[in-house]
Amino acid sequence: MKKHEPVSTIMTHHVYVVDIKDSLESAREVVRKHNVRHVPVVQKGKLVGIISKTDLNRLTFSGMFEGEGDTDEAVLDMLNLSQVMSHKPRVVRAGDDIRAVAKILSEEEFHALPVVDDENETKLVGIVTTTDVIRYLLERFL
Q: What sign results for the dihedral spanned by CA atoms 116, 118, 119, 125?
A: negative
CB 19 within 8 A of CB 124: no
- In 3D space, the residue among 8, 4, 2 whose CA is nearest the CA of residue 132 turns out to be 8
pLDDT computed for residue 116 by the predictor: 96
Answer yes or no: is pLDDT of 117 > 80.
yes
CB 98 within 8 A of CB 7: yes
Answer yes or no: is pLDDT of 66 > 70.
no
pLDDT computed for residue 63 by the predictor: 45
pLDDT computed for residue 59 by the predictor: 79
Taking residues 133-137, report their average pLDDT: 93
Q: Which CATH architecture has domain 7-141?
A: Roll (3.10)
Spatial separation of the C-alpha atoms in residues 133 and 110, rounded to whole Å: 12
Q: Maximum distance among all alpha carbons in the chain? A: 52
pLDDT computed for residue 142 by the predictor: 74
Spatial separation of the C-alpha atoms in residues 109 and 106, rounded to whole Å: 5
The pTM of this model reads: 0.85
CB 124 within 8 A of CB 116: yes
Taking residues 103-122, report their average pLDDT: 93
Answer yes or no: is pLDDT of 126 > 90.
yes
Q: What are 4-53's pLDDT values in tens digits?
A: 899 999 999 999 999 999 999 999 999 999 999 999 999 999 999 999 99
- In 3D space, the residue among 124, 125, 130, 126 whose CA is nearest the CA of residue 108 turns out to be 130
Q: What sign results for the dihedral spanned by CA atoms 41, 84, 55, 27?
A: negative
Spatial separation of the C-alpha atoms in residues 50 and 113, rounded to whole Å: 9
Question: Please, which residues bridge with residue 38 across strands?
Answer: 52
Q: What are 76-112's pLDDT values in tens digits?
A: 777 889 999 999 899 999 999 999 999 999 999 899 9
The structural domains of the chain, with segments of one domain joined by +, span 7-141
